[in-house]
Amino acid sequence: MTENIRINNPNVKYTDTHIEAQYCYHTTAVRRDGDTLTVTPSVSELEFRTERRVPRLGVMLVGWGGNNGTTVTAAVLANRLGLTWRTKTGEQKANYYGSLFQSSTVCLGPGPDGKEVNIPFRDLLPMVHPNDIVFDGWDISSMDLGSAMERAEVLDWSLQEKLRPHMSNLRPRASIYIPELIAANQAGRADNILKGTMAEQVKQIRADIQDFRHSSGVDKVIVLWTANTERFCDLTAGVNDTAKNLLAAIQLAVERNVFIAGDDFKSVQTKIKSVLVDFLISAGIKPTSIVSYNHLGNNDGMNLSAPQQFRSKEISKSNVVDDMVNSNPILYHKGEKPDHCVVIKYVPYVGDSKRAMDEYTSEIMMGGTNTIAMHNTCEDSLLASPIILDLVLLTELCQRVCVRPQGSETFQSFHSVLAILSFMCKAPLVPPGAPLVNAYFRQRACIENIMRACLGLPPQNHMHLEHKLQ
């Protein structure tokens, strides 16, 4: 199902190459004087320009031979080929469930009968279809993608049999392996590694990107990390100890206008956390303790069984409620936070079928307590793969959008630190000084409303005033 939408507004112009939209951006500024807050609304006029031509997109995965790398590649092939396969419960057809753009919808407004008209999210603006992505990548394990898909134990066997002829001739390129960064238990699979000085290895990676670009004929290449979780990066004075130094360290991305994203796919437990804690705090309920257990048995779990790699994951899974807590000084004094504990255990038998158990304890009225306990069986890589697709599709779209602020002669692209990708990341990255948002629906609304702005449409406000007046 694909919908063509056309905006009926003189402020929106469709040229052969672009969609050009005049947009009124409404914001407010707040000033405190003693106990009085003065709120000043303002409007600025922006012009959004979106390139209509969708490029041929290449995606290079670091960790291509892992569970996520093989699953996302297999899923795209299965969808492209329109595969169906038998399972013990019947025939299954390839789909993209779990992808924001492919499988969720946005509301355009009411139709003539007053009923809401919803369209696939992907149809708001011209976007690459995942079926058209060309994959390549690196892995420290030389296994071909057909065998690696079997090693991952994610997909039904009958689907693997159909995919193997297509996957077996895909082979990851040799990669940079720094043993101290990942768990020692990964050494056994590291048989595909670059040799030479660090400078020579970096040169080879750059040559690989160019080689892929030329040999595949793609117009654009996006590189995405889905390799093992590395140990947490130490704070190094002058490199990453202050926002200013960190920005200086990513100066090349800024200089070359290359987008960079945050860390760690927000796939299950953290996604629920960013909904549930937002719900509790915005309902005026005070979460006081959040305890999250996980056990899993895939290679990711084995890598995370090493303390330093677990520490990285613990941090990316723990900082995800700060914005919601800080937003409510009625419930939390300055600096106060709920207890937040994250546990991950490696249990080989459960494979990629991760178990996540969460307990949320909250303080309610008059000293009462509310405890929510949750058990979630998550087929991990099948939940992470659509998020990988959404990350690259949104990044690609953002490269085709530019904005001309009021009074400016020139169009600007988005900041190199692409904060709109926060929705897909457990540890979002935002430009220095920008608010960091983890709350799920605020993140989703940000994507939807920016895409609407590209069409000159106001933000989705859910007011339905036309139904609320006499």
Residues assigned a catalytic role: 264, 313, 354, 426
DSSP 193-212: B--S-HHHHHHHHHHHHHHH
- In angstroms, the Cα distances linking 442 to 370, 402, 437, 449 are 25, 22, 7, 10
CA angle 445, 258, 182 (to 5 degrees): 90
Where in 237-256 is the site for ligand NAI (CB under 6 A)? none
Q: Which is nearer to ligand NAI, 189 or 400 (CB)?
A: 189
C-alpha–C-alpha distance, residues 351 and 347, integer Å? 8
Which string of x and - marks every residue 92-121 that binds ligand NAI (by CB under 6 A)? Answer: ------------------------------
Stretch that binds ligand DG6, among 24-32, 54-62, 108-116, 268-276 (CB under 6 A): 268-276
380 lines the binding site for ligand NAI (CB under 6 A): yes
Q: Kind and range of the H or E element at 55? A: none
What residues are paired with 19 via a beta bridge?
14, 50
Stretch that binds ligand NAI, among 61-69, 128-136, 161-169, 242-250 (CB under 6 A): 61-69
Residues 275-304, one symbol each (x = binds ligand NAI by CB under 6 A, - = not), give: -----------------------xxx--x-
Ramachandran class of 196: left when φ > 0, alpha when ψ lies in -120 to 50, beta otherwise: left
* The one among 136, 264, 390, 396 contacting ligand DG6 by CB under 6 A: 264
Q: How far is the CB of 62 from ligand DG6 (least distance, A)?
A: 16
Does 300 bind ligand DG6 (CB under 6 A)? Our answer is yes
Q: How crowded is residue 430: how many other Cβ atoms within 10 Å of its Cβ?
A: 17
351 scored as a contact of ligand NAI (CB under 6 A): no
- Residue of closest CB approach to ligand NAI: 66
**E strands, 1-56, in order:** 12-14, 18-33, 36-51
- Cβ contacts of residue 408 below 8 Å, gap of 6+? none
Q: Is 201 in the site for ligand NAI (CB under 6 A)?
A: no
C-alpha span between 292 and 269 (Å, rounded): 8
Instruction: Quote the least distance from Cβ 394 to ligand DG6, whole Å.
Output: 18
Binding residue for ligand DG6 (CB under 6 A) from 49, 162, 173, 266? 266
Judge whether 266 and 274 are in contact, CB under 8 Å: yes
* Phi-psi sector, 315: left (phi>0), alpha (psi -120 to 50), beta: alpha
Identity of the residue, 152 or 420, whose beta carbon is nearer to ligand NAI in the bound complex: 152
Minimum Å distance from CB 316 to ligand NAI? Answer: 9
Q: Which residues of the chain form contacts with ligand NAI (CB under 6 A)?
A: 62-63, 65-69, 138-141, 175-177, 182, 189, 226-229, 264-265, 267, 298-300, 303, 380-381, 383-384
